[in-house]
Amino acid sequence: MKKRVVITGLGAVTPIGIGAEKFWQALLDGKSGIVPITRFDASALATRIAGEVTDFDATQYIEKKETKRMDRFTQFAVAASKMAMADSGLDLEAEDCDRIGTIIGDGIGGMETLHDQFKVLFEKGPNRISPFFVPMMIGNMAAGQTAIALGLHGPSTCVVTACATGTNAIGDAFRIIERGDADVMVAGGTEAAIAPAAMAGFCSLKAMSTRNDDPDKASRPFDKDRDGFVMGEGAGIVILESLEHAKARGARIYAEIAGYGSNCDAYHVTNMSPGGAFAAKCMQLAIKDAGLKPEDVDYINAHGTSTAVNDSSETEAIKTVFGEHAYKLSISSIKSMTGHLLGAAGGIECIASVLTVVNDIIPPTINYETPDPELDLDYVPNKAKAKTVNVAISNSFGFGGHNATILVKKYQD
């Protein structure tokens, strides 16, 4: 029989707050984390704003010497994982760490390290490249360094599925526990891509908002006047445990993860399939996996990027799956506040979904000012809403057609 899987720890590094509690309160307050870019001179770019993590001090979580051997995306992951582990109350000295694994993904990897070391290469030559260049840059180091920091010897992998990464990582970790290959998994996503090359690339795609003079209003999912996404950075990590393991140690249980869906559009490198057809099938997979019906779902944490194609396709997909029940659902996009954290988006959005289920309060979609007549669902505009939420799903859709949906529900023994 499949094992039940519960969530017992949360760790977040986000543009609107560090730590799950600060992150959650900022969501309820409708706080925007979008600011003018300070990490480099962005004056030549069409988009000069982003969701920066401005108050992060890696040395609060990692020995100073070690921080210099980690790219920013890895620092975020290790910090968020340590927060989540502390929140879970797990005593690792008393645990069998062969049964605790790590799946932490990222969409792009060490962009800052890549940029800095290529500059060294071109200006000073190959002999000046850092010996830590490769292990700082490669994407699996978020999972690897976290496992090293915590002493975890169970399954350890890195998921890279663009913007679906965080959700796929949590879903894959869910499967590992469900089939009995681990008792505990540290899972989620991390990203630190506010760097010249990544920003320039997305600008060339014309995918990002250019509301540089009004950053607070730039990310506006589902609004008629949306003009593109806003880059964000950070990490979202959750601790998953088998129910029997959590109960045996008397853990505080936030919620149960009950369903997971993953598929591919196989349509286009950047655009979703027409009408969000395979996004709809992905949601259906997660709902079926949980043994539920569409009408059991109360809330959708939408992918909601603030791009014209994504928001309309996701809305169509929701209508396909839920029919008339779509108009009873509450839907919101926290990207309106955090920006789009790419590989980390699914991690922080899982945390938001879990806390929605725990607290029966739905975070808003801020900057929803002008309704789009074609997008006519309840996007929880501008203010948080109290509502009983027994079941929530969180969607993530990535370049390459990668789709992922997880379903969380209130825990009942």
* Sequence ranges of the domains in the chain: 5-248, 260-409
Residue-wise burial string across 352-371, b where 16 or more C-beta atoms lie within 10 A, e elsewhere: bbbbbbbeebbbbbbbbeee
Question: Roughly what angle, to the nearest 10 degrees, separates helices 20-29 and 345-359?
Answer: 80
Determine how β-strand 5-14 pairs with β-strand 255-264: antiparallel
pLDDT at 335: 98
Cβ atoms of residues 356 and 362 within 8 Å:
yes
Taking the model in full, what pTM does it have?
A: 0.97
d(CA 273, CA 280): 10
Cβ atoms of residues 339 and 5 within 8 Å:
no
Taking Cα atoms as reference points, which of 306, 305, 288 lies closest to residue 297?
A: 288
Cβ atoms of residues 349 and 166 within 8 Å:
yes
Taking Cα atoms as reference points, which of 109, 66, 151 lies closest to residue 343?
A: 109
Determine if residue 184 is left, alpha or beta; phi over 0 gives left, psi from -120 to 50 gives alpha, anything else beta: beta
pLDDT at 78: 98
- CATH topology agreement for domains 5-248 and 260-409: yes
User: Could you tell me where the DSSP H helices lie in 179-257?
Assistant: 196-204, 243-248
312 HSE (CA, 13 A, CB side) = 16
CATH architecture of 5-248: 3-Layer(aba) Sandwich (3.40)
Cβ burial of 129 (10 Å; 0-12, 13-18, 19+) is: middle
Note the pLDDT tens digit of each residue in 272-328: 999 999 999 999 999 999 999 999 999 999 999 999 999 999 999 999 999 999 999
- Say which residues have a Cβ less than 8 Å from residue 13's Cβ, sequence separation at least 6: 53, 56, 76, 79, 80, 234, 235, 236
pLDDT at 246: 98
- Give the residue ranges of the chain where pLDDT is below 70: none
Looking at the annotation, which residues are catalytic? 163, 303, 340
For 198, the 3-state DSSP assignment is helix
Strand blocks (E) in 244-307: 255-264, 299-301
For 36, the 3-state DSSP assignment is strand
The kind and range of the H/E element at 282 are helix 277-289
Q: Does domain 260-409 have CATH number 3.40.47.10?
A: yes
pLDDT at 413: 86
